[in-house]
């Protein structure tokens, strides 16, 4: 039994895992790793498990691809005894520790554990050593459609960018993402921009009704009548009118 023993295995005998959480590989990074392998060899072993007469890759697909590019015939591997669930969990853990996965590859890998193996978020959190709230938060990213996911990944935006975009109504997300990418907004700038989009519009002030000329004349007539009535009653009263570009001033002086 090989157990966890380190062995050199033929590249041709290693089968890539179709359930590998990482789906995208940067060609430039692969070329750099290829050159490093040519010079120094594969410094970190791949993780595999026995599958019939072959070896199924658990973790290290990027190293395997680069090793093939470098022309290696054999690569160092650690052979683990693992069932499908254990292998899938280990692949996610290994990639998370190496930060090899995009935010959506992480979410899709976690979702696979739910859909294929029926695990709860709490069970997944225990198996891969991440808080349950973090698991649930990552799964919410899958509410973004595939087009948005691809654009976010291509623009190298972060998980916090994606989470901020989730706050926007679905029909507004594409337009909002266009602006985030075009303006190269940082996470704080993105969150501030989305806060402004979501904040209720300030109520428009009701326009102050301007007095028409007729209204002013009506008021002046009423004031004059009132003063005349006072005079008729024996009260001494005088009125003064001052008019500027912005207002009209009426002063009524009543003798004590």
Catalytic residue, chosen from 44, 61, 150, 249, is: 61
CB atoms within 10 A of CB 250: 14
Helix, strand, coil shares of the chain, percent, nearest 5, are: 55, 15, 30
How many residues comprise the chain? Answer: 256
DSSP for 31-100 reads: HHHHHHHHHH---S-EEEEEETTEEEEEE-HHHHHHHHHTT-SEEEEEE----HHHHHHHHHHHHHHHT-
Give the CA angle between residues 233, 236, 242 to the nearest 5°. Answer: 125
Strand arrangement, sheet containing 14-15: 6-10, 74-79, 46-51, 54-59, 14-15
94 is catalytic: no
**Rounded distance between C-alpha atoms, residue 99 and residue 155, angstroms:** 17
Which tokens belong to 108?
């899709």
**Rounded distance between C-alpha atoms, residue 255 and residue 238, angstroms:** 9
**Rounded distance between C-alpha atoms, residue 94 and residue 116, angstroms:** 20
Closest to 75 measured CA to CA, from 4, 5, 8, 16: 8
CB 187 within 8 A of CB 160: yes
Active site residues: 61
């Amino acid at each position: 039994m090989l157990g966890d023993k380190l062995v050199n295995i033929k590249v041709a005998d290693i089968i890539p895992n179709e359930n590998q959480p990482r789906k995208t590989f940067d060609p430039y990074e692969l070329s750099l790793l290829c050159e490093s392998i040519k010079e120094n060899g594969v410094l970190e072993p791949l993780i595999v498990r026995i599958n019939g007469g072959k070896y199924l890759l658990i973790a290290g697909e990027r190293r395997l691809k680069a090793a093939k590019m470098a022309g290696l015939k054999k690569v160092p591997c650690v052979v683990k005894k693992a069932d499908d669930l254990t292998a899938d969990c280990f692949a996610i853990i290994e990639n998370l520790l190496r930060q090899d996965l995009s935010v959506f590859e992480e979410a899709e890998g976690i979702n696979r554990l739910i859909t294929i193996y029926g695990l709860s978020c709490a069970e997944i959190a225990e198996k891969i050593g991440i808080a349950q709230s973090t698991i649930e938060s990552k799964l919410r990213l899958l509410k973004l459609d595939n087009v948005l996911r691809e654009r976010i990944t291509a623009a190298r935006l972060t998980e916090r960018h994606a989470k901020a975009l989730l706050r926007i109504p679905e029909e507004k997300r594409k337009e909002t993402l266009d602006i985030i990418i075009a303006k190269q907004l940082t996470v704080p700038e993105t969150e501030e921009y989305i806060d402004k989009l979501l904040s209720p519009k300030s109520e428009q002030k009701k326009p102050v009704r301007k007095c028409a000329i007729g209204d002013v004349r009506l008021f002046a007539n009423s004031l004059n009548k009132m003063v005349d009535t006072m005079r008729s009653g024996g009260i001494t009263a005088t009125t003064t009118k001052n008019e500027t570009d912005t207002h009209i001033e009426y002063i009524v002086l009543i003798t004590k």
